[in-house]
Amino acid sequence: MTTIPLRVGSLVLWRGEKHKITRILNLQYVLCINQTSRELDKIPVSEIKPFVAKQLDTTPKIDLSDLTEKEWETANNRLRIIQSLLDLGPNCTEQNVANTAQKHNTSQATLYRWLKRYRDSGKLSSLINRRRADKGESRLSKEQDKLLDLCIQRDFLKLERPNVRQAYDDYLFNCKKADLQPCSLASFTRRVNKIAPQAIALHRYGNKQLIGKHSPATGRFPGGTFPLDCIQIDHTKPNVILVDDRDRQPIGRPWVTFAIDIYSRIITGFYLSLEAPSATSVALCLTQSICRKEKFLFNIGVDASWPCWGLMRTVHADNGPDFRSKSVDRACHEYSIALNWRPLGRPDYGGHVERLMRTVKTDISNLKGSTFRNPEDRGEYDSEGRAVFTFDEFHKWLTVYITKYYHMRTHSDLNMSPLAKWEEGLFFGDEMPMHGLPDIIEDERRLYLDFLPFKKRTVQRYGITIDNVTYFHPSIARWIGVNAPTDDNKFIVKYELHQIQYIYFLDPDTQEYLEIPRVYRDAPNMTRFELSKIQKHLKRKGVQSIDEQAIILAQRELKELEESANKETTATRRMRQRKAQAPKAVAHVSPTNNTDTSPESTEPDDWETVNAYDDIELDM
C-alpha cells in the first residue's frame, strides 16, 4: 500500500501492536483500541505505522511504461464508475452498488472487486485486468523444453546464419527422432526472439559485431590531450578511378595512407600511391607528417599553407604487418615515438582516422570517375568511362582538399576548424599548458632514410647483393670480410622501392648512410616492383641462376612482348604509371646534390654514369 487510511475502522500499527481507529480526536491524535489487550489508547498521528497483514501478496507488479493506452483508458473508465461509491466511504450500501451496476450494465460482483482493489492499493493501475502470472512461461515438458533449447543453440545460433524456418525444420527432424511432440513454428519463433541480441551477434556474426554493436563506447580515446600527443594512421582506397598520363586510360583506384592528429583532427601527412599498403607507405606518410611541407607543396604546384610539423609522442595504428615492420619500429624508437597498436577486434580504437577516411570518401563521391560506396549506389554510372584524373592531378586535388577545405571547415566535434584547434593547442591552451611551435627536424633526408625498409647483409669481395642486384663502392671496401659489430655480424642496408640504382649502407663507425651504386651502372633503372615481376618471369621460364645479365635480357624480352601486343591492359598501364610517379613521392626529401660518399678518397672517380639503354622502358 502507498497510503495509510486514517479513518474510523482502519487498522494501524503502534509500538509494534495492531490497533483499530475508533475516533479522530484532532490533527495530532487519534483514539484507538488495542486488538490484543482491548485497551483504549491515545496515539500520536506521527507515530502511526501501516499495518500489513502477513499474507502472500499475489498482486502482480506492474511496469507503468509497459501499459498500453487502451489499458489506461479502461482503468480511467472503471474509476469513473466506482468514484461515486468511493465518495460514500463507509456509508456505501449494497443498494448503492446495485444501482451503479444497473446504470453501467455490469455486475455487482465486478464492482465489489474493483472497489476492493482500489481501496487496498490506492493506485489507478489496480483497476487494469490482471495479466496471467504464467504468461510467457513454457508449457512444454522438461524433455521437450531441453530439446528445443538444444536445437536452437545448435541449428540457429551458428555462423552460417540459417533463417528460423530452416532451423525449425531441423528441430522437427530431431523431435521425430526423439519421439517427442514438437511445438508450433510460432512457439519456436517466440523462443528464438527471446534470445539476447548479444548472443545472436556473437554466435551468428562473430566477436567483431558483438563488440561493435553491444559493447559500451562511452569513454574517450586514451590520448590526444595536446597537439602531437597521439596520431592515428591507416590506409584506404579512395572511391575514384584514375587514368594514366600517356593515353588517359583507366588504371584503377589508388591507395592513400592518412595520419591524423587526435587533438586537433588536423591531417599531419598523407601518402598517395598505386601500390598496396606496405611498410614504405607508413614510412613515407610518417616522414611527411614530421617534416615541414613547404618543399612538398612547391614540388606539386600547390600554393597553400600547411603549418604542421614535428615529432609526435605516440603513433596509434592497427595490427597490419605494414605497421609492425622492423624498419618502422626501429625508426620510431630512434626518435622516441611510442608505437601502439589498437586492441584486436576493436576498430573503435581507430575511430578518428576511420571517420576521416569516410569523410574523404564522401567528399570524393561527386568527382568524375567516382565508384561510389557500393554497386547499388553506382547504378549504371560508368566509373572507368568517365574517369579524368591522372595520378598527379588527383594528388594535387587531394592536397588542395586537405589544405584549403578540410583544415578550414568547422569540425562537428570541435566546434572549430582543425587548423584553429591546432593553433589553440600550441598557443592558447586552457586545459593544458601552451606548447609553442614544435621542434624542426634538422636533417629530413636522414629521417627519411631511417624509416626506409632494410636488409641485413655482409660485405663480400664483389660487394653487396640485394634481390640479385649487386652494389659496390670503394667506401665500403674496408668492411670486406669483416664482421659488423652486431649480434648477427651483419650490416644494415636501406633500400628504396622506386629505384634499384642505389642502396644506403649504414657505416657502423660514423653512423652515417653511404650511398652505394649498382655495379652495372649502365643497366636501365627500374622500380623494385618491376624487378620482382621480372624475377617471377624468369622463374616461370625455369631459369635456375638469376643474375643481372639475365634480368637485363628479361627486361628487353618483356618490352618486345608489350610492343607486339595490340592493346595494353589496365595492369600494364598501371605498372607504367607506378614507375613514373614513384620517384616523385620522395622528391621533397631527395638530396639537393650528390657528393662522393668517401671523403678520404682523392683519386679520380671512375664510377661515372653511363646512359646506355635509355631508350629501353619496361611498361608492365
Phi, psi of 260 (to 5 degrees): -125, 135
Mean pLDDT of 104-132: 81
Residue 478's pLDDT is 93
Domain 142-214: state its class: mainly alpha
The rounded percent of the chain whose pLDDT value lies above 70 is 83
In terms of Cβ atoms closer than 10 Å to its own Cβ (0-12, 13-18, 19+), residue 300 is middle
Q: Examine the pLDDT at 573 and tell me if it is beyond 80.
A: no
Grid cell in block for residue 12: 494501524
pLDDT band at 69 (very low <50, low <70, confident <90, very high): confident
Q: Examine the pLDDT at 76 and tell me if it is beyond 80.
A: yes
Mean pLDDT of 137-158: 88
pLDDT band at 473 (very low <50, low <70, confident <90, very high): very high
Q: Examine the pLDDT at 379 and tell me if it is beyond 70.
A: yes
**Burial annotation 31-44 (CB, 10 A radius, 16+ → b, else e):** ebebeeeeeebebe
Q: Examine the pLDDT at 305 and tell me if it is beyond 90.
A: yes
For all residues of the chain together, what is the average pLDDT? Answer: 82
Which pairs from 334-341 meet CB under 8 Å and 24+ separation?
334/450, 335/290, 335/311, 335/447, 335/450, 336/311, 337/311, 337/312, 337/313, 338/313, 338/314, 339/314, 339/315, 340/314, 340/315, 340/316, 341/316, 341/317
What span, in angstroms and rounded, lies between the C-alpha atoms of 566 and 184?
Answer: 67
pLDDT digits (tens, 9 = 90+) for 166-209: 999 999 999 999 999 999 999 999 999 988 888 898 888 887 77
Q: Examine the pLDDT at 382 and tell me if it is beyond 60.
A: yes
What span, in angstroms and rounded, lies between the C-alpha atoms of 386 and 406?
Answer: 26
What spatial distance separates the first Cα and last Cα of the chain, rounded to whole Å?
Answer: 86
Whether residue 244 contacts residue 390, with contact meaning beta carbons closer than 8 Å, is answered with yes
Written as one letter, the residue type at 288 is: Q
Q: Which of 236, 340, 331, 339 is nearest to 283 (CA)?
A: 331
pLDDT digits (tens, 9 = 90+) for 587-601: 777 775 444 444 444
Mean pLDDT of 539-545: 73
**Burial annotation 519-547 (CB, 10 A radius, 16+ → b, else e):** bbeebbbbbbbbbebbbebbeeeeeeeee
Q: Examine the pLDDT at 406 and tell me if it is beyond 80.
A: yes
Mean pLDDT of 211-240: 77
Cβ partners under 8 Å of residue 14, min gap 6: 32, 41, 43, 47, 48, 49
pLDDT digits (tens, 9 = 90+) for 548-570: 677 767 777 766 666 665 455 67
Q: Which CATH architecture has domain 11-50?
A: Roll (2.30)
In terms of DSSP bridges, do strands 464-466 and 469-471 run parallel, antiparallel, or are they unpaired? antiparallel
Residue 426's pLDDT is 86
Residue 618's pLDDT is 45
Which pairs from 436-440 meet CB under 8 Å and 24+ separation?
437/310, 438/227, 438/228, 438/309, 438/310, 438/311, 439/310, 439/311, 440/292, 440/309, 440/310
Q: Examine the pLDDT at 120 and tell me if it is beyond 90.
A: no
What span, in angstroms and rounded, lies between the C-alpha atoms of 300 and 400?
Answer: 10
Whether residue 378 contacts residue 372, with contact meaning beta carbons closer than 8 Å, is answered with yes
Q: Examine the pLDDT at 277 and tell me if it is beyond 90.
A: no
Higher pLDDT, 211 or 358: 358
Which pairs from 586-591 meet CB under 8 Å and 24+ separation?
586/284, 586/448, 586/496, 586/498, 587/299, 588/288, 588/291, 588/295, 588/296, 588/299, 589/287, 589/291, 589/444, 589/445, 589/447, 589/448, 590/445, 591/445
What span, in angstroms and rounded, lies between the C-alpha atoms of 172 and 237?
Answer: 48
pLDDT band at 55 (very low <50, low <70, confident <90, very high): very low
The rounded percent of the chain whose pLDDT value lies above 90 is 33
In terms of Cβ atoms closer than 10 Å to its own Cβ (0-12, 13-18, 19+), residue 313 is middle
What span, in angstroms and rounded, lies between the C-alpha atoms of 224 and 401?
Answer: 24
* CATH code that applies to domain 231-427: 3.30.420.10
